[in-house]
Amino acid sequence: MNKLTKLSLAVVIGSLMMPAFASKTEPYTQSGTNAREMLVEQPIHWISVDQIKKELEGKAPINVSFDIDDTVLFSSPCFYYGQQKYSPGKQDYLKNQDFWNEVNAGCDNYSIPKQIGADLIKMHQDRGDQIYFITGRTAGKTDGVTPVLQKAFDIKNMHPVEFMGGRERTTKYNKTPGIIAHKVTIHYGDSDDDILAAKEAGIRGIRLMRAANSTYQPMPTLGGYGEEVLINSSY
């Protein structure tokens, strides 16, 4: 084989090994993404129930608190119903005491318990931890929420739900007084206010993911305050 033939063959082989680059025929109109970008993980501190359990092994029982809506219950149907009845297309219903009286009286019988809530609560109860529910809801005339939660999650030593909405406070975030009063060590919640209330109280706040079809919009940024985020926690 002469030198020219060898050179030609090398060029052919080299060209076959080189990646092909396709040029855009039209400029993109949306940001979009690609397979490589999709593989880039965001700097989020993911954590699992098993990891939390292992971290707590050998430690004395603690007090833990949970937000309710989008944390342990998928309660969007109640809020959707309330909006349609009291302020269609607006958020004014959240300031209407009639809505809170109605929703807290028993609407949560139709809310769906989240599996992640059941898993977390079981893990903590098996350790002997005390469970508290601290919500931003405004209290109604009747508390139908406490019995629903007790039954849904088989709470052994049920404490009444703390309704923090509308309460007078000296803290920036409305759940902070409840967290402090019950000497909570870990607070679980889906909202920014949950994480910020935990920070204000000086305790560990762990974020749960909100279901994509929740009525509570816009969606929060997971890990936006450097908090841990529970993996697979949207359901």
Catalytic residues: 67, 69
* Tokens representing residue 128 in the block: 């002997």
Q: What angle do CA 118, 123, 125 make, to 5 degrees?
A: 95
CA nearest to 220, candidates 183, 193, 188, 182: 193
User: What is the Cα Rg of the chain in Å?
Assistant: 25
DSSP 31-54: ----HHHHTS--S-EEE-HHHHHH
193 contacts 175 by C-beta, under 8 angstroms: yes
C-alpha–C-alpha distance, residues 45 and 98, integer Å:
40
234 contacts 214 by C-beta, under 8 angstroms: no
Q: What angle do CA 224, 227, 231 make, to 5 degrees?
A: 95
